[in-house]
Each structure stands twice: as structure tokens, then as C-alpha cells.
Structure 1
Amino acid sequence: MTDLERKIYRIIYNMSRFRRNPSMKELKRKTGKGEPEIRKAVNNLISRKELEWDKEKREWRFK
């Protein structure tokens, strides 16, 4: 897991504890990275089964 992936994972995990999903704007502000980099990191986390999106509940599931 890269530093950016770890940072995004922790942001999503911590915000989801309060039943809130971070927006792209919040992720950009908190990581200092652009949208393409964030999307790539999130897709990498999903492909490695670190993160999973539950469409019904509209929330993240964690490994």
C-alpha cells in the first residue's frame, strides 16, 4: 500500500465511523493530490479488496 493509498484509506475509515463519506473535494483538500491520483489510489484499494462499496447501504466496507 502506497502512502497515498494508506492516507485515503484512513480518511475514508475515520469519516465513515461517523456515518459520513468524504467528497472528492474533501479528499483533494486533505491529501493535497488531484482527482486522477485519488481515483487511481481508490481503485487500487478496491482491486486489492482493501475497500468495498456497498451500493444498498451507500457506505464503505473495510478489510
Structure 2
Amino acid sequence: MTDLERKIYRIIYNMSRFRKNPTIEELKIKTGKDETSIRKAVKNLISRKELEWDKEKKEWRFYV
């Protein structure tokens, strides 16, 4: 897991504990990265089964 992936994972995990899903804009502010980098990191986390989006509940699932 890269530093950016780890940072995004922690942000999503911590925010989702309070039933709030971070937006791309919030992730851009908190990481200091551009949208393309953030989307790529989230896709990598999903492809490695470390994160999963539950469409029915509209929340993240964590596996690490």
C-alpha cells in the first residue's frame, strides 16, 4: 500500500465511523493531491479488496 493509499484509507475509515462519506473535494483538501491521483488510489484499494463500496447501504466496507 502506498503512502497516498494508506492516507486515503485512513481518511475514509475515520470519516465513515461517523456515517459521513468523504467527497472528492474533501479528499483533495486532506491529501493535497489532485482528483486523478485520488481516484487511482481508491481504485487500487478496491481492486486489492481492501475497500468495497456497498451500493445498497451507501457506505464503505473495510477488509484490512
Percent identity reads 83
Partner SS for 1:36: helix
Unaligned runs of 5+ in 1: none
Aligned-residue offset at 1:18? 0.1
What do you get for the CA RMSD once the two structures are aligned?
0.2
- Segments ≥4 residues shifted beyond 6 Å: none
SS of 1:39's partner is helix
SS at match of 2:21: coil
**Residue 25 of structure 2 is aligned to residue 43 of structure 1:** no
| TM-score (norm: length of structure 1) | 1.00
Find the aligned partners of 2:40 and 2:56 in 1 and give their Cα distance.
Answer: 24
Residue 53 of structure 1: CA displacement? 0.2
Alignment length, in residue pairs?
63
How far the C-alpha of 1:19 sits from its partner, in A, is 0.3
